Structure 1
Amino acid sequence: MNLKEFNFPAHNAVFHISKGLIFNRTIAFRVRALYPDKNDKNVYIQNKERLKKRLFEKIMVMFNNRLRATKVKNPESPHDFTEDYKKRMLISNEKIDIFKLQMFQLSSGMEDEFNVAHIGGDYAIYPLTFVCEKCGDLRTISPKSIDLFDPNSCMSQGCTGRYEQLSLMLFCPICGNVRPLQYYYKGESITLIRRSKDSISTWKVKAKSKGSMDLFRLKCDHKDPFDMGPYKSRTPISKADPCSQKPLTVTEGSIYIPVAQTSIDIPSSPDIDLEELEYILSGISLGKYDFLENLGLSVDISTIQDLYANYNNLTTKKFAIMMDPLLKGKTEKDQEKEWKKKCFIDKIEEVITEIKSVYPEAIIETLREINDYSALIGKLGASSIKSTAYLNFISTLNEPLIKTEKKLEFAEIQRKYHIQDIIHIPRVTLVNSCYGIFNGINKFYDEGFIPHFDPLWVNKTDATKGFYAYCFPYETEGIIVTLNKEKILEWLVNTETIPAKNSTPKEFFNSLEPESNEYAKIEVLLHSFSHLLMRSSSVYTGLDLQSYGENIFPASAAIFLFSTSSINIGGLQFVFEHEISNWFENMLFDVKECTLDPNCIKEKGTCFSCMYIPEFVCCKFNQHLDRDVFLGKTDRNKRGFWW
């Protein structure tokens, strides 16, 4: 195997090779850098500013929550960072100026082109700790010496063994530091004693003049990981007492976990304030701009962008005031008011004010999610996005018997699975983005746990240099499945997640708070449903599980399954047109029973046998899943959504 160069599919690169991630190929490597795109082969992102703002706010919230976690406020996450460290590292709104979006440098298929960069980044062997399989000689090799290191020849005199990479690292749950296993004692050779190779609790280390010691006896004293100076002179970043470190196996996704999301690209809007954009988009999907229709204009973001561009054009404004005798003698304030009326900005602002009263700043992410879903089904007027609802597809069929049969099948699917609609999207631009990394263990299943999230720093030794997100935009097809909101609301009441509600389903879903229990419950329901559909679809689509992606829209009660294959073979369209009924029926096999039941259903209701898919395919890395949301067999769910 050539270890000097590796190729990764672009569509899942954010999950495998973002800066700082580990990947395994015979031995473990870590990505040191990714190069800015000079080949200009990426699909164009229309609305970079919207994507940038959304990702920045996620980074700011997640990282600042980690910094502020204390033993008193967050018993599950007693990080207790020092005030000096928090002050130095805290991300404020102003730091959006040092946050950048970076595209991957694509190179495949361009071997014969001139002036094209063929390398997208660089990596190094990591960790640099090796142990002799025969005598246990433990060596830490410096980065400068690794090219001269011969793993096939033990350095201990008389030993004929060979070295293997020690695939173990230490993680501090308090400060989040991750470090390789490295031991030194007076310059002497260190020996790793492994009585049982598969039982690390039996491992010991010893030096020539020092007896064997517990491998994990050393505690973390929470030194600053950004300080590259001598270890003893580094200042602590946490006020917590030194603590034991947890051993973690060096595999992809076990030590450094990428934090990624898939976003819907929408038309650009350079003349619209980003603070108002989400409210304007919501007004389009809610049908609040009737006055545009009355004027014979299309109701979409492009039209509103044009109105704002005209309003912001100072030359046009000055000329209009000069030519209008009614405006000449008025004050500047009155002129501005009349100019807004002429450009219809006053009517748009009325819509913004109305929607802001429904969506306070606290649930702006819910609004963004609804807007993404609206864009996906074509409600925002993006010309490149066309959608076909299942009943509309049936109406295009010529054969009356087939029409009737498919209508009956769809009605049964709606009744049996509480489905509202199924929609095919033949073409849409999506953007996969990795905007950070979880260090060490992420106990997402523990309420109140705050993981050690780190942004993708430009320079780890100087946080003021900024941070970035890696993005890969691409065009694909997909299928949307929406669930019946009334049935979900009933289920939430039956499971005692919420009290009986007087609000309508529309009011309830529009006011969902992302941090609420009901939002989390709906997310698990939709996410579990998404996995079931993906696992049962390959036989019909011709796509393997690694060629799928998913997006979950709790506030819209919808899931979006899409192809990430570089070649669109139309597999999802085939399912949509010919195999919908079989697709849903086949899904039930994974729901009703698992080969690892009763343990599976009693513990978490999810495992590799019934629900898991490749982690880079899953938008939640196989978290937030539970078969029991459909069955209601355990105390986690007093009532199943389907049974």
Structure 2
Amino acid sequence: MAEGKKEFPAYSALFNLMQDSMFVRDNLSYKIISLYKDIGSNLEIYDENRLREILFDKIEELYNERIRHYRLKKDFLTDEDKETLEISKFLLTNDVDGYFSGLYKIYPRAFYCKKCGNFHVFYSDEFKNIDMQQCSNPKCNGKYIQFPFVGFCETCGKITDQFNICEKHGDKFLKLIQYDVTSPITWKLRCAKCGTEKDFLTTCYHNHYGEKISKESPSKFRPINVQQGSVSRPVVETMVDIPRELHLNDIRYLDYISLGLYLGQFDAIKEDLPDIFAGLPHILSQMDIRKYDFENDKKYFDSFDDGLMKSYDIFFSELKDLSFQSKQTAHEVNDYLILTGFYHTLFNLDSVIDVVKLEDLEGYDNTLKESHEVLKEDLGIADIYYLSDIHLISSAIGSNKGMVKIGPEAVPHFEPYRNSKTNNLKILSYPFETEAILIDLDKIKLVNWLIDNKFLKRDYPETKEQASIILLNLLKDDEEDAYVELHKLIHTFSHILIKRSSVYTGLQEDSCSEMLLASLGAFLIYSTSNVKIGGFSYVLENNLKEWFGDVKLDVGDCVFDPVCIDDEGACFSCLYLADHACCNFNKNLDRDIFLGSIRYKGFWD
């Protein structure tokens, strides 16, 4: 990046280098001004339509919830915004051939002399010529240091580096007075000329670019320390890219088809499915599945023989009856089928994705299988898959402004990225290939746990199929509390394994990340390292028992117990991961889910 060089590993760049993000180098804080578009160095995105659909839903949810919660005078996002949403792959470079990834500037440009308190905001030309090693006060031999605070309005979400000045003398004679060095709220700016003294932050009137966006009364800005990384944090979503070889990316009903495949609705015509899928894009482009009637729609199948026509009739009849209330669940089903190798097995595609079950790994003998089956049953794991080469897309969809309150009811000031010229919504995507493991939990045990803890009022399921349907329909059946607890269990399990990963996989915990498929009772742990070292492959073949074996001991131990376990059941010492490693900002975690000592009947009881 221009104005100096700042480098991050490619994956973590999304969490550090997005527009309006800030970083610290050599005790100075900087703000990202702009990012440059990719010039062909990034991998291809196979299915931009699906990426747009999924990410817009997330943007719409976060942004509209912010508007409702804070009663802002801003327009809600609609489907029209989805149509114009821009997908941009940003330029990743290590300064080869003189390229930069973008631009950044020093922020804030306010400095003060630590010795005499002389306070000054330096503007572009002035900043280049100023000597930071010498205070401009001729009677002082002190040095300038950067002022560490900007203002944040909790009412409207505005971030400002505008500071109070003297009404008579402007900013020429300002001096910082620190009445209590440890308490910035006591700091004042005094005019050395007339003695006028004010808080260093101005008042927020909730005007953004000249437009008043809140009906609330003016309020004071809250100081935020820019060197603590909480001014503007990118929100990053990771998803599986639909492999091009599947030829499914043009089908409008892909998520519903995925649900039917997952539930076995098309098993009766399984042999004909490859032929059915080959003709689907053309047929679906001409008909409305919601009004499907075989007698009226026979004309679309005239080129097929009678047997295939009957298979199409069964397929569309089943498809018509499938429904999702939750788009999130639909996307999770699709990802799950790709990650477990269901698609490439069904269509005999060797080149799509290399998925191997634990027991099918090379060198996996009966002795290992026997011990691992006991371990899996003890932890509630049904299957473990190794994916040696998977295509993922991580996308920055916007940023959370200012401090985010903790708790399930907290609503961040989420602001989506926009094209500065067109004002269209914009996402910044990074497609990459990596290795991963998929942990598929025991569906029956998950549902039983929800019932035992009274989050669900259901009969205990007798089969995996019954349990799978219950999990899939939690959001559809208005059982969101049960879904939240299910998500918390899976999220916590993922963190437990990632925290232990460095000892056995060769991957540090900040070189791993996660993707949760709560409705499917599964989670993915993948490497974010720039270099594939085969860490997951090695540990599955050699150290799985050691990696998983002592998790119960780890879960029961935190240096801040009993405070940690009594309060939230998770903290920075035991379960928190780096921002770019966690999919949900370390929210919705609780060790007690597995311990079962305070709030829960334990999952491992």
TM-score using structure 1 length: 0.83
Q: What residue number does 1:602 align with?
A: 566
Give, in angstroms, the shift of residue 103 of structure 1. Answer: 1.0
Would the aligned equivalents of 1:359 and 1:367 in 2 still touch at CA under 8 Å?
no
Alignment of 1:288-303 (within 5 A): 288-290=265-267, 293-295=270-272, 298=274
Would the aligned equivalents of 1:183 and 1:190 in 2 still touch at CA under 8 Å?
no
Structure 1: distance between partners of 2:327 and 2:492: 25
Structure 2: distance between partners of 1:128 and 1:56: 35
Give, in angstroms, the shift of residue 123 of structure 1. Answer: 0.8
Q: What residue number does 1:94 align with?
A: 80
Question: Closer, same or farther in 2 for the Cα pair 1:334/1:482, shift >3 Å?
Answer: closer
Structure 1: distance between partners of 2:216 and 2:5: 43
Q: What residue number does 1:319 align with?
A: none
Q: What residue number does 2:48 align with?
A: 48
Question: Closer, same or farther in 2 for the Cα pair 1:41/1:214, shift >3 Å?
Answer: closer
Question: Closer, same or farther in 2 for the Cα pair 1:378/1:579, shift >3 Å?
Answer: same
Question: Closer, same or farther in 2 for the Cα pair 1:417/1:293, shift >3 Å?
Answer: closer
Would the aligned equivalents of 2:448 and 2:460 in 1 still touch at CA under 8 Å?
no
Q: Tell me, yes or no, if structure 1 residue 479 matches structure 2 residue 437.
A: yes
Question: Closer, same or farther in 2 for the Cα pair 1:46/1:179, shift >3 Å?
Answer: same
Q: What residue number does 1:168 align with?
A: 149
Q: What residue number does 1:23 align with?
A: 23
Structure 2: distance between partners of 1:179 and 1:598: 40
**Which of 72, 89, 96 is the matching residue for 1:81?**
72
Structure 1: distance between partners of 2:121 and 2:96: 39
Question: Closer, same or farther in 2 for the Cα pair 1:350/1:49, shift >3 Å?
Answer: farther
Amino acid at match of 1:19: Q
Question: Closer, same or farther in 2 for the Cα pair 1:25/1:509, shift >3 Å?
Answer: same
Question: Closer, same or farther in 2 for the Cα pair 1:357/1:164, shift >3 Å?
Answer: farther
Q: Secondary structure at the match of 1:528?
A: helix
Question: Larger deviation: 194-203 or 236-245?
Answer: 194-203
Q: What residue number does 1:366 align with?
A: 329
Question: Closer, same or farther in 2 for the Cα pair 1:138/1:501, shift >3 Å?
Answer: farther
Would the aligned equivalents of 1:59 and 1:435 in 2 still touch at CA under 8 Å?
yes
Q: Secondary structure at the match of 2:237?
A: strand
Would the aligned equivalents of 1:129 and 1:138 in 2 still touch at CA under 8 Å?
yes
Q: What residue number does 1:192 align with?
A: 176
Q: What residue number does 2:343 align with?
A: 380
Amino acid at match of 1:189: F
Q: Secondary structure at the match of 1:565?
A: coil
Q: What residue number does 2:280 align with?
A: 308
Give, in angstroms, the shift of residue 581 of structure 1. Answer: 0.8
Q: Encode CA deviations 1:296-341: one digit per residue, 9 max, x unaligned.
A: x648xxx72x313554899xxxxxxxxxxxxxxxxxx989631245
Amino acid at match of 1:81: L
Would the aligned equivalents of 1:50 and 1:274 in 2 still touch at CA under 8 Å?
no
Give, in angstroms, the shift of residue 351 of structure 1. Answer: 4.3
**Which of 254, 277, 281 is the matching residue for 2:230?**
254
Question: Closer, same or farther in 2 for the Cα pair 1:242/1:109, shift >3 Å?
Answer: closer
Structure 1: distance between partners of 2:267 and 2:553: 48
Structure 1: distance between partners of 2:570 and 2:526: 22
Would the aligned equivalents of 2:269 and 2:311 in 1 still touch at CA under 8 Å?
no
Structure 2: distance between partners of 1:346 and 1:121: 57
Structure 2: distance between partners of 1:147 and 1:543: 42
Q: What residue number does 2:34 align with?
A: 33
Q: What residue number does 1:150 align with?
A: 131
Question: Larger deviation: 247-256 or 523-532?
Answer: 247-256
Q: Secondary structure at the match of 2:80?
A: helix
Q: What residue number does 1:237 align with?
A: 213
Pairwise CA RMSD of aligned residues? 2.9
**Which of 117, 120, 123 is the matching residue for 1:136?**
117
Give, in angstroms, the shift of residue 455 of structure 1. Answer: 0.6
Q: What residue number does 1:390 align with?
A: 358
Q: What residue number does 2:413 align with?
A: 452
Question: Closer, same or farther in 2 for the Cα pair 1:282/1:312, shift >3 Å?
Answer: closer
Q: Tell me, yes or no, if structure 1 residue 552 matches structure 2 residue 516.
A: yes
Question: Larger deviation: 467-476 or 180-189?
Answer: 180-189
**Aligned residue pair count:** 579
Give, in angstroms, the shift of residue 45 of structure 1. Answer: 1.5
Q: What residue number does 1:539 align with?
A: 503
Q: Encode CA deviations 1:93-134: one digit per residue, 9 max, x unaligned.
A: 0122321111121334954xxxxx621111111111212111
Identical amino acids, percent of aligned pairs: 29
Q: Encode CA deviations 1:181-209: one digit per residue, 9 max, x unaligned.
A: 51211224211111333321332221131
Q: Encode CA deviations 1:491-538: one digit per residue, 9 max, x unaligned.
A: 222323233446631121111229912222111111111111111121
Q: Encode CA deviations 1:138-174: one digit per residue, 9 max, x unaligned.
A: 2222244332333222122311111111121211111
Question: Closer, same or farther in 2 for the Cα pair 1:54/1:352, shift >3 Å?
Answer: farther
Give, in angstroms, the shift of residue 35 of structure 1. Answer: 0.7
Q: What residue number does 1:337 align with?
A: 298
What stretches of structure 1 of length at least 5 have no aligned partner? Answer: 70-78, 112-116, 228-233, 315-332
Structure 1: distance between partners of 2:95 and 2:121: 39
Q: Secondary structure at the match of 2:376?
A: helix
Question: Closer, same or farther in 2 for the Cα pair 1:335/1:518, shift >3 Å?
Answer: closer
Structure 1: distance between partners of 2:203 and 2:339: 50
Give, in angstroms, the shift of residue 235 of structure 1. Answer: 4.0
Q: Secondary structure at the match of 1:455?
A: strand
What stretches of structure 2 of length at least 5 have no aligned partner? Answer: 287-293
Amino acid at match of 2:158: N
Would the aligned equivalents of 1:494 and 1:638 in 2 still touch at CA under 8 Å?
no
Amino acid at match of 1:248: I
Q: Secondary structure at the match of 1:566?
A: coil
